[in-house]
């Protein structure tokens, strides 16, 4: 990224920080702050750490003056947050953070950016369902934040949870990810059927998933259904035909259980598949870490130009990042495109080739922050 592009981004980020109402985390005076600047190192994430603030006015003045590319605060509260050695900060407790990011989710070919964001949103919805139904939390117990990049952060700030250590936080992670949840154990808990019982939240979830699975199979064309069931361990084509025929009579799972059509090894395989679909794919080290840095809600993401957006539960359900997290307008900006690219923003799909062109500022900022374009100062139209 050339110096003119950095200067342009810094100027526009600075305009945002001088005008916007930047939010602060609870007990912000006890938190360490860290910044990545539009300096010679950018776009590398070189942190300026161990900063502390004593007032909201001081935070806003600093951010307006330096116009950072990225802004972070500690999930932990410290007695001395500006101390340069971690052992001197005197840890007092930390939020529990769940980080859901596309890098941890996508195992197939990468879809479009909008597709990536939808996949991560779906995974975040799974997490929220666990928090509310299995942990008994309500929407006032957590906050949801779009990261400004390719994911979401969910913050728990319950005082009674703040002093949990890494080991206890890892147990929470293990529950959400289904770690240690074995099909054999679940089957042993059921004394009457070759299926998990319904005495725990996970067992209820698995039974519901399997019920939907067979209802879906029962609704398929017979040939397609047989081809889908046959590869399941210990089923094969002949048994798959018998199962599909049974489903055509009754699509519920209970007759299948009673008929013994499905062998025990097949049930185990189906249960493992259920766990794989139901578990939440969170960034495990983030949740277990009691001294983590996390993006400041309401700041800008220096790799996209999008706003790190705090959301209510209802707001999250309606949230469309490539519309609702955009802060820059549609004034024309001239850029040099470094490689052909396609971007979806503000309801439009914009395709650009390797050339110099004029784009709406929100698209130009996104492409520059992503390293896909350079600023062309001589052709900038005045605001």
Domain that includes residue 371, residue range: 332-379
Residues 169, 104: one domain? yes
Residues 309, 363: one domain? no
Residues 16, 74: one domain? yes
Q: How many structural domains are present in the chain?
A: 3
The whole-angstrom separation of Cα 45 and Cα 210 is 44
Q: From the candidates 15, 39, 99, 141, give the one annotated as an active-site residue.
A: 99
Do the Cβ atoms of 54 and 67 come closer than 8 Å?
no
Residue 115, pLDDT score:
86
pLDDT tens digit string along 79-115? 999 999 999 999 999 999 999 998 766 655 667 888 8
Q: From the candidates 103, 283, 324, 353, give the one annotated as an active-site residue.
A: 283
Residues 132, 28: one domain? yes
The whole-angstrom separation of Cα 347 and Cα 105 is 25
Residues 240, 364: one domain? no
- Read off the tokens for 32: 């360490």
Helix axes 201-218, 222-229, angle to 10 degrees: 140
Catalytic residue status for 141: no
Where does residue 66 fall: left (phi above 0), alpha (psi -120 to 50 degrees), or beta otherwise? alpha
Residues 14, 124: one domain? yes
238 domain residue, yes or no: yes
Residues 14, 123: one domain? yes
Catalytic residue status for 101: yes
83 domain residue, yes or no: yes
CATH code of the domain containing 375:
3.40.5
Average pLDDT, the chain: 89
- Whole-model pTM over 0.75: yes
185 domain residue, yes or no: no
221 domain residue, yes or no: yes
What percent of the chain is modeled with pLDDT above 90? Answer: 67
Residues 197, 239: one domain? yes
Q: From the candidates 101, 103, 141, 250, give the one annotated as an active-site residue.
A: 101
Residues 359, 320: one domain? no
Catalytic residue status for 289: no
pLDDT tens digit string along 24-72? 999 999 999 999 999 989 988 899 999 999 999 999 999 999 999 999 9
Report phi then psi at 8, rounded to 5.
Answer: -65, -50
- Read off the tokens for 42: 């950018």
DSSP characters over 186-209: HHHT-SSSSS--SSSHHHHHHHHH
Residues 57, 202: one domain? no
Which of 244, 250, 252, 247 is CA-nearest to residue 225? 244
Residue 298, pLDDT score:
96
Residues 43, 172: one domain? yes
CATH code of the domain containing 127:
3.90.920.10
pLDDT tens digit string along 300-348? 999 999 999 999 999 999 999 999 999 999 999 999 999 888 888 998 8
């Amino acid at each position: 990224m050339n110096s003119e592009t950095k200067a342009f981004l810094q100027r526009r980020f600075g305009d945002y920080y001088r005008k916007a109402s930047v939010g602060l985390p609870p007990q912000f005076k006890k938190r360490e702050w860290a910044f990545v600047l539009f300096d010679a190192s950018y776009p590398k994430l070189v942190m300026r750490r161990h900063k502390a603030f004593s007032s909201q006015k001081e935070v806003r003045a600093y951010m307006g003056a330096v116009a950072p590319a990225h802004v972070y605060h500690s999930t932990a509260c410290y007695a001395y947050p500006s101390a340069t050695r971690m052992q001197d900060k005197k840890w007092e407790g930390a939020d529990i953070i769940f980080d859901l990011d596309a890098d941890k989710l996508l195992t197939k070919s990468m879809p479009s950016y909008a597709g990536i964001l939808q996949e991560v949103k779906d995974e975040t919805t799974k997490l929220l369902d666990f928090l509310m139904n299995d942990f008994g939390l309500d929407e006032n117990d957590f906050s949801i934040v779009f990261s400004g990049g390719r994911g979401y952060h969910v913050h728990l700030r319950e005082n009674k949870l703040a002093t949990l250590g890494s080991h206890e936080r890892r147990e929470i992670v293990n529950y959400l990810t289904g770690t240690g949840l074995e099909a054999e154990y679940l089957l042993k808990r059921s004394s009457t059927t070759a299926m998990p019982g319904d005495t725990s939240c996970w067992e209820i979830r698995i039974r519901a998933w399997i019920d939907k699975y067979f209802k879906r199979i029962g609704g398929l064309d017979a040939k397609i259904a047989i081809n889908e069931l046959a590869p399941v361990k210990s089923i094969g084509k002949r048994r798959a035909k018998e199962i599909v025929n049974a489903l055509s009579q009754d699509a519920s799972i209970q007759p299948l259980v009673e008929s013994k059509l499905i062998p025990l090894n097949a049930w185990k395989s189906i249960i493992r598949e259920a766990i794989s679909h139901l578990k939440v794919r969170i960034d495990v080290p983030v949740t277990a870490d009691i001294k983590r840095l996390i993006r400041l809600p309401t700041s800008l993401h220096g790799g996209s130009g999008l706003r790190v957006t705090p959301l209510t539960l209802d707001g999250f359900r309606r949230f469309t990042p490539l519309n609702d997290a955009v802060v820059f307008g549609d004034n024309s900006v001239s850029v040099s495109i470094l490689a052909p690219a396609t971007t979806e923003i503000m309801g439009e799909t914009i395709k650009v080739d390797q050339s110099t062109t004029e784009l709406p500022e929100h698209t130009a900022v996104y492409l520059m922050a992503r390293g896909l374009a350079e600023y062309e100062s001589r052709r900038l139209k005045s605001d």
